């Protein structure tokens, strides 16, 4: 790729809309937190842990991801993890980020809900002050657990309502369709929360449809399998439903064999509001700019696509319209240089 396009990708202002904060936990920090908290890990070294990051599908990743998150105990742990991600994202010219977190992974281990959300939220406030970055929190429900657990988690979140911009649905997709979470999503909608769901990552296009029709989500996380259904693809384009696409994740979890097989360009050509994101950067080999640069190297994507992706990232965000317009003007100004 020519050096000019690489610099454009790296330096253009952008938003990240699909990042699981627990997936930003680097092996070095996992070991440091384990030592700080007196936890013995099943892996003896950072290298041994890294070598275990050879995934065959979503579930094989999730098993290791949940094990890694077990070192998080204190508010400071959640702050340190989030602050490390925010500094990395800032270095990638991410000026706005909407962060997923999985409270059930922690409350199931006896960590208080407030410990989790207060640590993550404190880091977001610090990023606004120190880095001039905006950020928001999306609480995800784990779909491999019963809806009753999600409803109980929502109860715990109510005193923290003001710290949340929305809710999402993640974890093992196959066999856990969106419609299983209709009641909890209806309650969240009534609370004025934004709604998103992982769908069409490993699961079929039908899960994208029920996420829209039953859960009433505003964005689809991943959604890459939509292209298997022409009518669905047309609907997503017509209704401008954004997709938060994560190319490196899709290759690591074998949704696509190689980055050169990825359908990002086909999604854009179909008129979809696709965005590029890192998903779980510590596990999948890269942060935002690694995803952009490697995907542009693998596919015939050009400068106009970079501009489209930067634009889409803010259009698809849950920012208020004034702030959205401010960032979109920054994108336009950047590409006029
Ligand atoms: N949790 C963290 N990363 C995920 C992914 N890619 N899909 C579903 N759940 C997840
Ligand atoms: Zn994800």
CA of 170, closest atom in ligand 1: 9
What average pLDDT does this structure show over 142-168? 98
Kindly give, in sequence order, each residue whose CB lies less than 8 Å from that of residue 88, ignoring residues fewer than 6 positions away. Answer: 24, 281, 287
CATH class for the domain made up of 3-24+70-335: alpha beta
Kindly give, in sequence order, each residue whose CB lies less than 8 Å from that of residue 285, ignoring residues fewer than 6 positions away. Answer: 248, 252
Handedness of CA 88, 92, 97, 103 (dihedral sign): negative
Q: In angstroms, what is the span from residue 220 Cα to ligand 2's centroid?
A: 10
pLDDT at 262: 98
Is the pLDDT reported for residue 214 higher than 90?
Answer: yes
Q: What is the DSSP letter of 41?
A: P
Q: In angstroms, what is the span from residue 170 Cα to ligand 1's centroid?
A: 6
Q: What is the DSSP letter of 271?
A: T
DSSP string, 92-122: TTEEEEEEEE-HHHHHTTT--HHHHHHHHHH
pLDDT at 161: 98
Ligand 1 residue neighbourhood (C-beta within 6 Å):
20, 23, 58, 65, 170-171, 198, 201, 249, 279-280
Distance CA(67)–CA(63), nearest Å, equals 6
Residue 166: Cβ within 10 Å count: 21
Q: In angstroms, what is the span from residue 325 Cα to ligand 1's centroid?
A: 30
Cβ–Cβ under 8 Å, residues 262 and 247:
yes
Pocket test for ligand 1, best of 19, 59, 62 (most atoms within 8 A of CB): 62
Is the pLDDT reported for residue 203 higher than 90?
Answer: yes
Q: How many alpha carbons lie under 13 Å from residue 15 in its C-beta half-sphere?
A: 28
DSSP string, 162-185: GG-SEEEEES--TT--GGGGHHHH
pLDDT tens digits along 227-286: 999 999 999 999 999 999 999 999 999 999 999 999 999 999 999 999 999 999 999 999
When pLDDT is cut at 50, 70 and 90, the band that residue 46 belongs to is very high
Residue 164: Cβ within 10 Å count: 21
Nearest ligand to the CA of 248 is 1
**Alpha carbon distances (Å) from 261 to 197, 296, 299:** 24, 12, 8
pLDDT at 250: 98
Is the pLDDT reported for residue 1 higher than 90?
Answer: no
Q: In angstroms, what is the span from residue 209 Cα to ligand 1's centroid?
A: 19
The residue whose CA is least distant from atom 1 of ligand 1 is 171
What average pLDDT does this structure show over 79-94? 98
Domain boundaries, the chain: 3-24+70-335
Is 201 known to be catalytic? yes
**Which residues face 134 on adjacent strands?**
96
The active-site residue out of 173, 201, 202, 209 is 201
- Rounded percentage of the chain residues whose pLDDT exceeds 90: 100
Kindly give, in sequence order, each residue whose CB lies less than 8 Å from that of residue 327, ignoring residues fewer than 6 positions away. Answer: 13, 15, 95, 96, 314, 319
Q: What is the DSSP letter of 1?
A: -
Residue 209: Cβ within 10 Å count: 21
Model pTM score: 0.98
Burial of 289-305, coded b for 16+ CB within 10 Å and e otherwise, reads bbbbbbbbebbebeeeb
């Amino acid at each position: 790729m020519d050096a000019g396009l690489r610099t454009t990708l790296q330096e253009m202002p952008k938003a990240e809309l699909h990042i699981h904060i627990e997936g930003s936990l680097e092996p070095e920090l996992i070991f440091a937190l384990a030592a700080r908290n007196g936890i013995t890990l099943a892996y003896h070294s950072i290298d041994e842990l890294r070598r275990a990051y050879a995934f065959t599908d979503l579930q094989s990743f999730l098993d290791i991801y949940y094990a890694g998150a077990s070192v998080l105990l204190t508010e400071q742990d959640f702050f340190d993890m989030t602050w490390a991600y925010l500094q990395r994202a800032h270095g990638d010219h991410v000026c706005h980020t909407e962060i997923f977190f999985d409270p059930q992974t922690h409350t199931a281990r006896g960590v208080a809900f407030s410990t989790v959300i207060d640590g993550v939220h404190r880091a977001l406030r610090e990023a606004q002050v120190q880095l001039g970055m905006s950020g928001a929190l999306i609480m995800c429900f784990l779909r491999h657990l019963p809806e009753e657990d999600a409803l109980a988690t929502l109860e715990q979140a109510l005193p923290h309502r003001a710290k949340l911009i929305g809710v999402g649905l993640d974890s093992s997709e196959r066999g856990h369709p969106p419609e299983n979470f209709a009641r909890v999503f209806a309650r969240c909608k009534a609370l004025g929360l934004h709604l998103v769901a992982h769908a069409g990552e490993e699961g079929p296009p039908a899960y994208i449809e029920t996420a829209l029709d039953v859960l009433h989500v505003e964005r689809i996380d991943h959604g890459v399998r939509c292209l298997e259904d022409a009518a669905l693809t047309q609907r997503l384009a017509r209704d401008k439903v954004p997709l938060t696409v994560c190319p490196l994740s899709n290759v690591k979890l074998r949704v696509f064999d190689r980055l050169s097989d990825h359908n990002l360009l086909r999604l854009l050509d179909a008129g979809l509001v696709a965005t590029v994101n890192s998903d779980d950067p510590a596990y999948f080999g890269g942060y935002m700019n690694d995803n952009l640069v490697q995907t542009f190297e693998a596919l015939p994507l050009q400068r106009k696509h970079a501009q489209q992706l930067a634009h889409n990232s803010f259009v698809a965000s849950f920012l208020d319209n004034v702030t959205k317009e401010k960032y979109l003007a920054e994108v336009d100004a950047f590409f006029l240089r």
